[in-house]
Structure 1
């Protein structure tokens, strides 16, 4: 039996998560099979079950990982005084639109997550709530409840606009969706 270096298991798990995350966001969860993920990760199918119980277990792990990374960016922005406007403009940029595989898992996967088991939806809900709280903390004026309401509205606007901008075939319309959503999200964030 071959022995692996210390940390090999963690490195392999990270590799599977990264490949699955990109493939899920690019093609959708339902369209991606375990064999394709493992092949792209340079691993055998049998190695999958050393790290995950099922595809659903992998989906949950990918969501938590991707949303924790997004949450960390929000924390870093808050700590470093990065304006919420910068976050909104970056989120609703053509670059983000054009790179779904490395972009927001919410915009890429929300419609599919709605059809997954409660445990997966609960994992998604918890992380999304954390991100909303961080957005609300960046908003000026108003009570905590008012800032949360505005964060919910702004986030929903951002996610929906990103999804629409990716779905339309007309590049000019796509740009228009993004530009108008930036203004709408900023208005919501400012409470004006």
Structure 2
């Protein structure tokens, strides 16, 4: 039985969405093709009608997730909106639920270990986000510093076992970012 083109697109979207959540929760390299397909109720063999390799799937996840991050965090910002957005970013909910959060803290190490094509793809989206923030903040270096602080704060908070320490990391980072945003423009 042949499936319609729309069915194939819907299946591919389900696979992308499910694989992205799985990758952000457990790491992309930890789950095999069979496990990724089983999560959406299909056999491992069906994978290759959507992607030529697991690396191609990872590239698609990076593209999808980082473009979504840019849409949520980058467009139409002013300083107040940016600060509110960052406050929402630096929350315990984001620490505790990586599958529904930003891909950068969850997949950053795997992106860094990927081939040049995936790293260039990630660079494209990260640079767009940084440029958006630089425009709002009127500082290229401040945008890089805040972007790095946000991602790093989540990584450190997720590394810690004690919720009180996790909250301290997030609160300290948010307070410092608030001072940086309110400070003199350079």
TM-score scaled by structure 2?
0.92
Which of residues 170, 188, 191 is equivalent to 2:180? 188
Which of residues 82, 86, 89 is equivalent to 2:87? 89
Count of aligned pairs: 184
What are structure 1's unaligned runs of at least 5 residues?
Answer: none
1:132 aligns with 2:130: yes
User: What residue in structure 1 maps to residue 65 of structure 2?
Assistant: 66
2: distance between equivalents of 1:134 and 1:191? 19
What are structure 2's unaligned runs of at least 5 residues?
Answer: none
TM-score scaled by structure 1?
0.89
1: distance between equivalents of 2:163 and 2:24? 21
1:30 offset after TM fit, Å? 1.7
Deviates more, 1:15-24 or 1:44-53: 44-53
Contact 2:74/2:133 (8 A) holds in 1: no
Residue 77 of structure 2 aligns to a residue in which SS? Answer: helix
RMSD: 1.7
Contact 1:154/1:186 (8 A) holds in 2: no
Deviations 1:24-76 (A, max 9, x none): 00001221211111000111212111111111111110011011111111355
User: What residue in structure 1 maps to residue 120 of structure 2?
Assistant: 122
Contact 1:88/1:186 (8 A) holds in 2: no
User: What residue in structure 2 maps to residue 112 of structure 1?
Assistant: 110
User: What residue in structure 2 maps to residue 176 of structure 1?
Assistant: 168
